Amino acid sequence: MTRTGIFLIGAVAMSLLLLGCPPDPEPPAPRRPQFVPKSSDTAKVERGIRPVPGQNAIRLEWFRNTERDLAGYRVFRTSEVAQDTTLPINFRLLREIPLGSQEAIGLPDTVFIDAAAVPDVQYYYQIEAYTRRGARSERSVPESFRLATRVEPRTPIGQLVFSRSDTTIYFEWGKPSFASGFYVLKLYEFRGFDTFFEEDCVAILYDGSSFRDRDTVSINFGQVFQAPSPVRRIPNGLRVFKRLESGVQYRWQVQAFPEDIDRRYGTASELLGFRVSIN
């Protein structure tokens, strides 16, 4: 047999072999992402979708996928709903988040800050996971939030000096644009980190408000700790978890809700700081 004949036979055999090979299977789709459930607005440390303190922005959080070839996530957003329903429609890609791409701004892959949000618009979000081979997950169940106009915290700030007989702190903030509603005031020990933990929470105060030109509330920490309850409560919704300590730095913020708490409609002020000195 000539060399030409051997070559032709080999080519035919290779063609038959290639035709008999099944196509590569489709890469498996990653698990459908899940948003972190939203905690109550009165929780010591909030989790899930919520306003970013001091910004017109919304924070999203979801659980990390476990696929080894996971490449990242895509965030979709809409403010449209189907006529005569509350069903969100026409989601559009808002941001693609490759794994590790947010390290420079100190955010994990499972958090997104929507800094393009504007007050009084109901936004809906979905998350999609994707792999290095191009497989895409089913999009998450939609999550939603609506920002309210921010309030402005005023005092206290700086150094506070108390006597042991009177450790009353007066908190004051400016009026928001809505006429009435509710507020949640939160006070934390500040340890020098951007993240607060459960044990950092000193007090939470929740109450209704007429939101006059300014709102002022006071907490007498010494009086509260004369009560027998381990977690001290008074009728207007105050919970105090710790005594004030001399030399400790604290931060506080006020959140405002035009309708009520836990309605996915609200705002969070910036955090103001003060240091306590008790003589």
Q: Is residue 222 part of a domain?
A: yes
pLDDT at 232 over 80: no
Q: What mean pLDDT is predicted for residues 223-239? A: 56
Residue where the block lists tokens 């792999």: 131
Q: Please state, in angstroms and rounded to a whole number, the distance separating the CA atoms of residues 216 and 155.
A: 9
On whether both 158 and 219 belong to a single domain, the answer is yes
Judge whether 251 and 273 are in contact, CB under 8 Å.
yes
Q: Is residue 259 part of a domain?
A: yes
Q: Please state, in angstroms and rounded to a whole number, the distance separating the CA atoms of residues 194 and 105.
A: 12
- Choosing from 115, 132, 147, the residue where a domain stops is 147
On whether both 158 and 262 belong to a single domain, the answer is yes
On whether both 274 and 260 belong to a single domain, the answer is yes
pLDDT at 78 over 80: yes
In sequence order, the 6+-apart residues with CB closer than 8 A to the CB of 246 are: 276, 277, 278
% of the chain beyond a pLDDT of 90: 58
Task: Specify the amino acid at residue 200.
Answer: D
Task: Specify the amino acid at residue 221.
Answer: F
* Other beta carbons less than 10 A from residue 71's beta carbon: 17
Pick 279 or 14 by higher pLDDT. Answer: 279
On whether both 61 and 128 belong to a single domain, the answer is yes
Pick 98 or 238 by higher pLDDT. Answer: 98
Q: What local confidence, expressed as pLDDT, does residue 26 receive?
A: 74
On whether both 244 and 271 belong to a single domain, the answer is yes
Q: Please state, in angstroms and rounded to a whole number, the distance separating the CA atoms of residues 148 and 178.
A: 9
On whether both 121 and 200 belong to a single domain, the answer is no
Domain coverage including residue 250: 153-278
- Looking at residue 95, which CATH number applies to its domain? 2.60.40.10
Q: Residue 103: helix, strand or coil by DSSP? A: helix
User: How much is the mean pLDDT over the chain?
Assistant: 85
Q: Is residue 90 part of a domain?
A: yes
Pick 203 or 194 by higher pLDDT. Answer: 203
Q: What local confidence, expressed as pLDDT, does residue 242 receive?
A: 86
Q: What is the pLDDT of residues 119-138, one digit of tens each?
A: 999 999 999 999 999 999 99
Q: What local confidence, expressed as pLDDT, does residue 174 receive?
A: 85
- Looking at residue 197, which CATH number applies to its domain? 2.60.40.2550
Q: What local confidence, expressed as pLDDT, does residue 260 receive?
A: 84
In sequence order, the 6+-apart residues with CB closer than 8 A to the CB of 201 are: 44, 45, 186, 187, 188, 241
- Choosing from 113, 147, 181, the residue where a domain stops is 147
- Choosing from 147, 166, 198, the residue where a domain stops is 147
On whether both 88 and 196 belong to a single domain, the answer is no
Q: What is the pLDDT of residues 151-179, one digit of tens each?
A: 889 999 999 888 777 788 999 988 777 76
% of the chain beyond a pLDDT of 70: 84
pTM greater than the 0.75 cutoff: yes
Q: Please state, in angstroms and rounded to a whole number, the distance separating the CA atoms of residues 186 and 183.
A: 10
Q: Is residue 40 part of a domain?
A: no
Q: Is residue 43 part of a domain?
A: no
Q: What local confidence, expressed as pLDDT, does residue 121 receive?
A: 97
Q: What is the pLDDT of residues 8-33, one digit of tens each?
A: 445 545 554 455 555 566 778 999 99
On whether both 174 and 125 belong to a single domain, the answer is no
On whether both 256 and 169 belong to a single domain, the answer is yes
Q: What mean pLDDT is predicted for residues 49-53? A: 96
pLDDT at 231 over 50: no
Count of structural domains, the chain: 2
